């Protein structure tokens, strides 16, 4: 099952609605966001927070030699 993005949801389901229904949805979204903020829920995390995490592990490692080593290990592991 594939998930729809916000743009596709809007295009398929929201834009065909009359303006009054779109406004109702907007109010519902705003109230939901306001209650989450008031409840002190953590905001969503960004994948970008992981950028360069653990980079020190690879200092001094030659990328091509590493890949060659992995490929050799795979060849040995194959029956």
Domain ranges in the chain are 6-38
- Tell me: the pLDDT tens digits for 27-39? 999 888 888 766 6
Q: Which token pair is 60?
A: 């001094």
pTM, to two decimals: 0.44
Q: What is the pLDDT of residues 7-21, one digit of tens each?
A: 999 999 999 999 999
Interatomic CA distance for residues 79 and 72, integer angstroms: 13
**Maximal CA-CA distance, the chain:** 66
**How does pLDDT run across 40-67, given as a tens digit for each residue?**
666 677 888 888 888 888 899 999 999 9
């Amino acid at each position: 099952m594939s998930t729809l993005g916000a743009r596709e949801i809007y295009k398929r389901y929201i834009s065909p609605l009359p303006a009054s229904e779109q406004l109702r949805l907007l109010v519902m979204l705003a109230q939901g966001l306001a209650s989450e903020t008031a409840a002190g829920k953590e905001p969503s995390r960004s994948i970008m927070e992981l950028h360069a995490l653990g980079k020190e592990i690879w200092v001094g490692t030659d990328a091509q030699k590493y890949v060659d080593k992995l490929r050799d290990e795979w060849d040995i592991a194959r029956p």
